[in-house]
Copies of this chain bind each other. A is one copy, B any other.
Amino acid sequence: MIGRLNHVAIAVPDLAAAAAMYADTLGAKVSAPLAQPDHGVTVVFVELPNTKIELLHPLGEGSTIAKFLANNPSGGMHHVCYEVEDIIAARDKLKQQGARVLGDGEPKIGAHGKPVLFLHPKDFAGTLVEIEQV
């Protein structure tokens, strides 16, 4: 069912410092910061040849990234995102297999303008999993 790894999301306490670290220290290609108020984050995309890293920093009130950083002040890996062809079919199969879909179970339009769902980390070895229809 799952296809490509779309991205790995890393929550960072200092977005400029993290972007500079990826650009200068690791020599990767990074985007300018992009505010995504609907998702409560500002994001910097790190473009790798086969996938991307998303550096996430809280934006506005009630950002889930702010909660994550309260527990992980240095930052850390927040989630992985796998691509699926049909998010409704994927969701129904996941639920049938006993996996818990977060929220109300209806896909939301994600940070890339495509439908996404998040799956409960307890069902995936402690890893928050996003699925995105591409």
Interface residues of A (CB under 8 A from B): 1-5, 8, 10-14, 17-18, 21, 24-28, 48-51, 53, 55, 72, 74-77, 80, 82, 93-94, 97-99, 121-127, 129
Contact = CB atoms under 8 A, between A and B. Distances in A.
Contacts of A129: 26
B51 A21 contact: no
Most buried by B among A13, A76, A122: A76
Contacts of A80: 8, 53, 77
Contact of A48 (B5, B13, B14): B5
Contact of A74 (B10, B97, B99, B126): B126
Contact of A12 (B10, B72, B125): B125
Contacts of A28: 1-2
B27 A2 contact: yes
B13 A50 contact: no
Most buried by B among A14, A26, A94, A99: A26
A97 B3 CA distance: 36
B5 A27 contact: no
A97 B10 contact: no
